[in-house]
């Protein structure tokens, strides 16, 4: 880690940026603590502290000129509640990709009277319920949040949602809620998995019915599903292959069995079959 010393400040690049403001470039120095910025003598409109390892947004001297502060890609988790008293002209603050987690952590930004542009993208705080409306509610002068213009409709909605102090406190409470050690959050998937009926191995009749259903399937998805059932030998409980009777036979299976029984009966009567064949002979001869 590198200390932010007066020597580092004097040796760092400084220039007029694209909007003709004096900018001090302190990015990418592995700075962990903000300090010694009094060495700037309040000569800069913009200070870039991006790509460092800063944890706390604090320890500023009084900088009446500073309007833009760039702090993306740091480790910021805490903001000094008196920031507005030290940076009264600050209008743009970029905190993209830091470690702000709960709504209460951005409350100190309300002390900045001129803050109009704010980015909190890639902070866990953005995933909290009503995050955007809460920030709009707290920062009255804000015009752009996360590169999206704050609309009048959002202001009205934020004022309505947080009309009471109780509603604001409840939002903070929800955003800071964490699970106790050993506590397992309830999820709907677990009960469903436990209660799911087990697959049942198909009988020979059901296998025949599945084959018949494959022939009559209307979609490729259904064909694939039925073929999978045949391949694995497991019949899913929700697979509809026709009504099964009390004996465990499907309608298609019963039809196949009836055909098979009929063929067996015919084969069991050789005398009758031979008699019919003999009768066929004379008739054919007479016709000739």
What mean pLDDT is predicted for residues 109-121? 97
| Residue 88: HSE in the Cβ half-sphere, 13 Å Cα cutoff | 4
Best-predicted range by mean pLDDT (36-40, 220-224, 252-256): 36-40
List helix spans (H) across 198-239. Answer: 204-216, 220-232
pLDDT level of residue 67 (50, 70, 90 thresholds): very high
Task: Provide the whole-model pTM.
Answer: 0.61
Which tens digits make up the pLDDT trace of 205-219?
677 777 777 766 667
Is the CA virtual torsion 79, 84, 88, 92 positive or negative?
A: positive
Query: Could you tell me whether strands 46-48 and 22-25 are parallel, antiparallel, or unpaired per DSSP bridges?
Result: parallel
All domains of the chain, ordered by start, with CATH? 6-176 (3.80.10.10), 204-266 (no CATH)
How far apart are the C-alpha atoms of 143 and 118, rounded to whole Å? 8
What mean pLDDT is predicted for residues 135-139? 95
What mean pLDDT is predicted for residues 65-72? 98
Answer yes or no: is pLDDT of 141 > 90. Answer: yes
Q: Smallest Cα–Cα separation from 132: which of 119, 141, 114?
A: 119
Query: What is the percent of the chain with per-residue pLDDT over 90, rounded to a whole number?
Result: 56
Answer yes or no: is pLDDT of 286 > 60. Answer: no
List helix spans (H) across 56-200. Answer: 83-86, 131-138, 152-161, 165-176, 189-195
């Amino acid at each position: 880690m590198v200390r932010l010393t007066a020597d580092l400040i004097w040796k760092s690049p400084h220039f007029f940026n694209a909007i003709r403001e004096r900018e001090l470039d302190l990015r990418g120095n592995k700075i962990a603590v903000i300090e010694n910025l009094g060495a700037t003598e309040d000569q800069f409109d913009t200070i870039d502290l991006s790509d460092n390892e800063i944890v706390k947004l604090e320890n500023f001297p009084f900088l009446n000129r500073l309007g833009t502060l760039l702090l993306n890609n740091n480790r910021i988790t805490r903001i000094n509640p008196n920031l507005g008293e030290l940076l009264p002209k600050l209008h743009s603050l970029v905190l993209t990709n830091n470690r702000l987690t709960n709504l209460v952590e951005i409350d100190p930004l309300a002390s900045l009277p001129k803050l109009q542009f704010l980015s909190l993208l890639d902070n866990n705080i953005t995933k909290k319920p009503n995050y955007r409306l809460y920030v709009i509610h707290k920062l009255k002068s804000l015009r752009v949040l996360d590169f999206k213009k704050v609309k009048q409709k959002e202001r009205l909605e934020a004022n309505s949602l947080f009309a009471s102090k109780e509603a604001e406190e409840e939002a903070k409470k929800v955003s800071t809620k964490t699970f106790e050690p050993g506590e397992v959050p309830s999820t709907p998937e677990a009960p469903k998995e436990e209660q799911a009926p087990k697959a049942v191995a198909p009988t020979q009749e059901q296998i025949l019915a599945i084959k018949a259903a494959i022939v009559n399937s209307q979609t490729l998805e259904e064909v694939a599903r039925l073929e999978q059932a045949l391949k694995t030998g497991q019949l899913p409980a929700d697979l509809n292959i026709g009504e099964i009777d009390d004996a465990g036979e499907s309608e298609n299976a019963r039809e196949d069995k009836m055909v098979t029984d009929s063929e067996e009966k015919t084969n069991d009567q050789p005398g009758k079959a031979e008699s019919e064949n003999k009768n066929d002979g004379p008739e054919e001869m007479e016709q000739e």
